[in-house]
Amino acid sequence: MPALRRSVRSWDKQQGVLTVKKVKLGVIGLGNMGSAHCKNIEGGHCPDVELVAVADVKPERLAWAEAELPEGIARFDSADALIESGVAEAILIAVPHYQHPPIAIKAFEHGLHVLTEKPAGVYTKQVREMNEAADKSGCKFAIMWNWRAHPLFVKLKELLADGKYGEIRRVNWLITLWYRSQAYYDSGDWRASWVGEGGGVLMNQCPHQLDLWQWLCGMPKTVSAKLLYGKWHDIEVEDDATIVVEYENGATGVFVSSTGDAHGTNRLEILLDGAKIVAEKETLTVTEFASSIDEFTYNAPASGELEKTEIVYQFEDEDFLHAKVLNAFARSILYGEPMYADGREGLREITLANAAYLSDWLGKPIELPLDEDQYFSELQKRIQTSKMRTATTRDDGHVDHRSRWRVKW
């Protein structure tokens, strides 16, 4: 039997109707993602959210809001003005990454709940400050890790948390389906520079997978990386990344990504003592072994083969994962229900990304915990010679807000 969904209803005397309590939300940033969130809410995909305000520094995006969103939604020309207005009880931050922590901190200081877009920020020091502000405020804090809401990853997490397959021996993630044209990079002035974005494929496209990697397999003890800067595009940041990690138990992991491979791949393979798990093309294939690999290795005859049983789980494409995460955030505020991801968990993903950059810049493996001051000062060196891009094309993300950010295979 499906679980009963709780809701708070009250009688509106003036209108003579029964109203359902919803979280009054302000969306900050009305670009590709912010406008998609607004459409999700207005399209009825977040039943516990009421869009009450929007903010953007660009007049044309406020004009979009005036034309496309229902009347009565307050419009502000800055994040500060929306936060200080008192109109919203919660905000969703969808502006370029560097600004996520300062806007979140300001909102926490005003007692507002915060859902931030990914990544949590660009460098760990600012993300840590944001987390401390969240702790001090006592407000709800969530991060848009929408890939965590995909049923395939929910199942995978469950399989690993169970522990029945023993320890991880090896992880490989080939995630090269982030192909981007030069026009994409030319569409936003903040994209693909150290000063505007703080990185390339690792900072923009890969945060979801770097988060899932640590969520599923834990944090490694060392991180090494080879990054290629402007290899496939005219950009100053990396568009090709290979990361190698080592875990406390001696297991190793490899993560490969790029925005230069047309028709790329998304294939995650986790080898454990008792099973091999492969996620690819919305299929999760679990190959269970009759005994642990170690037991077999030391007891089997020379020509022996480890017996196996294959279990295949098939999943459907999902359009509204962002809406699921946003609505869960609202229900957490209203009813204390669990969120998909606490905002503080963004720190782990950004630690992985920062460690990969630092490893490539210094040409050596980085031991965790990361030296955050060293990372910050190395990033500043790159920012000093970095140039903001000039937007010359329009990003077609505005055209189809659903298909663009699906969990892709």
Ligand X SMILES: NC(=O)c1ccc[n+]([C@@H]2O[C@H](COP(=O)([O-])OP(=O)(O)OC[C@H]3O[C@@H](n4cnc5c(N)ncnc54)[C@H](O)[C@@H]3O)[C@@H](O)[C@H]2O)c1
The residues that touch ligand X, with contacts defined as CB under 6 A, are: 28-34, 55-58, 61, 78-79, 94-97, 99, 117-118, 144, 146, 188, 204, 405
For residue 55, the minimal CB distance to ligand X (Å) is 5
- Nearer to ligand X by C-beta: 54 or 277? 54
**Distance set, CA 181 to CA 57, 198, 256, 260, 395 (Å):** 26, 19, 19, 8, 10
Coil, helix or strand for 126?
helix
For residue 57, the minimal CB distance to ligand X (Å) is 4
- Nearer to ligand X by C-beta: 34 or 264? 34
Residue of this chain nearest to ligand X (CB atom): 31
- Nearer to ligand X by C-beta: 149 or 159? 149
For residue 210, the minimal CB distance to ligand X (Å) is 13
- Nearer to ligand X by C-beta: 144 or 352? 144
Residue 251: which residues within 8 A CB-CB, separation 6 or more? 167, 168, 169, 170, 171
- Nearer to ligand X by C-beta: 58 or 381? 58
100, 78 contact by CB (below 8 A): no
**Distance set, CA 175 to CA 37, 301, 318 (Å):** 25, 38, 19
Residue 2: which residues within 8 A CB-CB, separation 6 or more? none
Inter-helix orientation angle 124-137/346-362, to 10°: 160
For residue 326, the minimal CB distance to ligand X (Å) is 10
Q: Hey, what long-range contacts does 364-367 have (CB within 8 A, 24 or more apart)? A: 364/224, 365/222, 365/223, 365/224, 365/246, 366/222, 366/223, 366/224, 367/221, 367/222
For residue 248, the minimal CB distance to ligand X (Å) is 30
Q: Which amino acid is at 328?
A: A
Q: Which residues pair with 310 in a beta bridge?
A: 287
For residue 377, the minimal CB distance to ligand X (Å) is 24
For residue 79, the minimal CB distance to ligand X (Å) is 4
How far is the C-alpha of 5 from the C-alpha of 12, rounded, in Å?
Answer: 21
- Nearer to ligand X by C-beta: 56 or 160? 56
CA angle, corner 290, sides to 289 and 291, nearest 5?
A: 90
For residue 144, the minimal CB distance to ligand X (Å) is 4
- Nearer to ligand X by C-beta: 149 or 251? 149
315, 323 contact by CB (below 8 A): no
- Nearer to ligand X by C-beta: 157 or 398? 398
How far is the C-alpha of 32 from the C-alpha of 14, rounded, in Å?
Answer: 38
How far is the C-alpha of 38 from the C-alpha of 207, rounded, in Å?
Answer: 22
